[in-house]
Structure 1
Amino acid sequence: MSQITKRTYKLSDGRDIIYFDDADTALPPERGDDLREPAVRPPTATMRQDVLTGEWISIAAARQNRVVLPPSHLDPLAPASPDNPSEIPGLYDVAVFENKSPSFGPDLAGPAAPEGLEDLARVGLGRSRQSVGRCEVVCFSPEHTGSLAGLSLSRMRTVVEAWADRTAALSALPGVEQVFPFENRGEAIGVTLHHPHGQIYAYPYITPRTAQLVRTIENYGGSLFEDILNFEQKSERVLFQGEHWTAFVPFAARWPLEVHMLPHRHVPDLAATTEEERDEFARLYGQLLRGVDALYSTPTPYISAWHQAPVHAHRDDVRLMLQLTSPRREENKLKYLAGSEAAMGAFIADIPPETAAGRLREAIEKREAAATTEITSRGQEATLP
């Protein structure tokens, strides 16, 4: 989007920081320097192969020392101040920077790096490789508190642009096989910072979830996502349908709250979406998140995950999809992954997907109606003499 401006700088230790300014930003174009003393970055982590599954586990010991739920005056994602030398030197709209303690990277190559997907597919005892790749933090707002649900439409559009831009940039890095933007929201999910933010992982392999999806497509056929969209659009589980996107509770939802959003045409990732698709998604996603928070008297914890096609394979079959899931099954009850789910991967759903869709659809409609009434009321007050 031409009105959204991207500005790239370096932090004191050499990490990239990228600012995305809103189309209607009030910020000046200049950005301050990071005045902190340069620090030594932790070494790139090591992956070990689980010989029982063939999956790769990153052993990222540096993450053990990361900050956990700091007080607001020491928020590492707030604009820096004399008393808080944070990760971001000054005021911003949306900021993206390399994670200080990444699970993957900062190295992208080396003698112990993976030698391609064929190398990673081989199974053997004691196999290890460098966890090459990259991890980035996406800050949605300079405010210490808040959420994506509370952002203006302009800011939400900036966030979508940042996701798309970073998907393209990270996909172009050597050794990267899949890019995953996501948001963990709420202490029940395990967040370590209250500041509204998300992350992006650039993996050196195709993730297990996507590998399973590829096997399903090979079994079903390349029309899988088109058929899913047609099937769900005819169901009572649809939450809303726009010109470019449809949101629905899936037929076989695992979680008490689970929503999928699919684009109406095949696109492999966010970088391949058009401006019109990004515009509509920004508007519809805000409605969805406000509805999710309207379900109960307190904000709902969730994981919002962008499932994208691998960088170098299966791009004609794997369609971009957003999946939002929450373990919250009642106001004061959470679904925990116990024996069957955690050990066997066999989920048991507590709430019928049609019931969940009805509740969420009602919450979205009520929340948007209330917002419209509030805007109308403010407009009438403004015209009073």
Structure 2
Amino acid sequence: MTTAHEAPETQHRRAHKSRAQLADGREIIFFDDAPRTRTVQDRREITRPEGGNEMRYDPLLREWVAIAAARQHRTHLPSSDQCPLCPTTEDRASEVPQAEYDVVVFENRFPSFRGDVPVPGDFLSTTTAAAESAGIRQHGSGRCEVVCFTDDHTSQLAQVSAERMRTVVDAWADRSEAMLAEPGVEQVYCFENRGEEIGVTLHHPHGQIYGYPFITPRTRTLLESAADYRERRGADLFADILAAEVSDGRRIVARTEHWTAFIPAWARWPVELHIYPHRAVERLPELTGAERDDFAALYLDLLQRGDQLFDGPLPYISGWQQAPASAEPGLMRLHLQLFSIRRAENKLKFLAGSESGMGVFINDIAPEDMARRLVDLGAGSADADAAGADSAEPSTDAEPPIDAEPPTDAEPHTEETR
């Protein structure tokens, strides 16, 4: 039996954290909307699945590929009464040894990345040409966690309250800060896969947090682009993109005091939303309480609009881009990207020859048209509780405060309780 110790309450904090261990030694952390003490008893007799994690380097694309053989045996679309993310009952023990919960995070039993040995920065210069051309092998490293947004199996993230969405944001920020302190983690990615069309294997409302042991290809390109732009233009690429979208206005979907949601002019996907903070923030833990509250209301509004686009819940991938641990300060701006492969009620966007074979995307819907559809869906249709009582109607003509000085009520950062 483990007593999950409640973290000291911090000013402006809504999520209240307590941590414990599962029967096989994995960490589990509860984030509650209100303070409480939990007693955790995982009565299962389980061990971690066999099969190690390995990484192999692709010298052609200069990218790492993870080999995680144990994932081949992970749970795949179980019936609702066998869902491993639902609360534990008297008749069945699950991954969450509690009768109910608000938000819970735990180490993935079938991780893509696992280990505490970082990738050496000089791994290419310390190996031979023969080894490099054969594919350098590295022991697995990093960390993977599961985030359950609610204990209601039949719900969706779009249906939770604004208070619960804020708890989710706090959990993302907390785990980002903790993972970046791990020796085998270089970059943290908080994301959600939603819908069988995307490839989800569990229907319970949940997301994941990956702690990569290297800078991912997409982020590496973003950083290189931002550095090149700063050298050539003497300016911040992300700030200029936001200012350009605000000036144009046609692709702005929604704006609040602290955030702007837009579809970029170069959108690859039929539905592709980018959500930028107006302040130059690099990572989730840096967000203030006001920024977190504002995002929670805006995000729920956008998710609800997405579900009205077609004839059912929108399948999507949504994730946070944030600065890696070793990134040069000032290059990256925190932002969220949400995209969907749905392009019509009965049509999906498949990554076929050009996209999969050559990496060249072809979008069937003009970004301006999709932005207009999402704007129209938001006109008076958002639920007042989910959108927040003080949320303004979407606008495209008022300038947001871009790159303002950090607010004076920024949340203090505290050490995690162990």
Q: How does 1:24-63 map onto structure 2 within 5 Å? A: 28-63=36-71
- In structure 2, distance between residues paired with 1:317 and 1:81: 48
Q: Which residue number in structure 2 is paired with residue 379 of structure 1? A: none
Instruction: Pick the aligned partner of 2:198 from 178, 186, 189.
Output: 189
Counterpart secondary structure, 1:303: strand
Alpha-carbon contact 1:44-1:132 (below 8 Å) kept? no
Per the alignment, do residues 180 and 209 of structure 1 end up closer, same or farther by CA in structure 2, a change over 3 Å counting? same
Partner letter of residue 77 of structure 1? L
2:212 is the counterpart of 1:203: yes
Please give the per-residue CA displacement for 1:95-139, whole angstroms capped at 9, x wherever unaligned.
00000010111x212xxx522x33268854231101201000000
Q: What is the CA-CA distance between 1:366 and the residue it aligns to?
A: 4.5
- In structure 2, distance between residues paired with 1:272 and 1:131: 29
Q: What is the CA-CA distance between 1:294 and the residue it aligns to?
A: 1.2
Q: Which residue number in structure 2 is paired with residue 367 of structure 1? A: 381
Q: Which residue number in structure 2 is paired with residue 114 of structure 1? A: 119
Q: What is the CA-CA distance between 1:37 and the residue it aligns to?
A: 1.3
Q: Which residue number in structure 2 is paired with residue 383 of structure 1? A: none
Q: What is the CA-CA distance between 1:316 and the residue it aligns to?
A: 1.3
Counterpart secondary structure, 1:194: coil
Q: What is the CA-CA distance between 1:368 and the residue it aligns to?
A: 1.5
2:167 is the counterpart of 1:158: yes
Q: Which residue number in structure 2 is paired with residue 93 of structure 1? A: 102
Counterpart secondary structure, 1:340: helix
Please give the per-residue CA displacement for 1:38-95, whole angstroms capped at 9, x wherever unaligned.
4145454000111211110000010000011100110100001233211000111000
Q: What is the CA-CA distance between 1:370 and the residue it aligns to?
A: 8.7
Instruction: Pick the aligned partner of 1:239 from 245, 249, 253.
Output: 253
Gaps of 5+ in 2: 1-11, 390-418
Aligned-residue CA RMSD in angstroms?
1.8
- In structure 1, distance between residues paired with 2:253 and 2:203: 29
Alpha-carbon contact 2:254-2:261 (below 8 Å) kept? yes
- In structure 2, distance between residues paired with 1:45 and 1:100: 12
Q: Which residue number in structure 2 is paired with residue 352 of structure 1? A: 366
Instruction: Pick the aligned partner of 1:228 from 241, 266, 272.
Output: 241
% same residue: 51
**Range that drifts further, 195-204 or 229-238:** 229-238
TM-score (normalised: structure 1): 0.91
2:183 is the counterpart of 1:174: yes
2:86 is the counterpart of 1:78: yes
Partner letter of residue 181 of structure 1? C
Alpha-carbon contact 1:76-1:84 (below 8 Å) kept? no
Please give the per-residue CA displacement for 1:313-368, whole angstroms capped at 9, x wherever unaligned.
13311110100000111111111000000110001110110000001111122521
Q: Which residue number in structure 2 is paired with residue 382 of structure 1? A: none
Q: Which residue number in structure 2 is paired with residue 258 of structure 1? A: 272
TM-score (normalised: structure 2): 0.84
- In structure 2, distance between residues paired with 1:133 and 1:62: 16
- In structure 1, distance between residues paired with 2:334 and 2:244: 17
Instruction: Pick the aligned partner of 2:332 from 304, 318, 322.
Output: 318
- In structure 1, distance between residues paired with 2:135 and 2:263: 41
Q: Which residue number in structure 2 is paired with residue 136 of structure 1? A: 145
Partner letter of residue 45 of structure 2? E
Alpha-carbon contact 2:14-2:166 (below 8 Å) kept? no
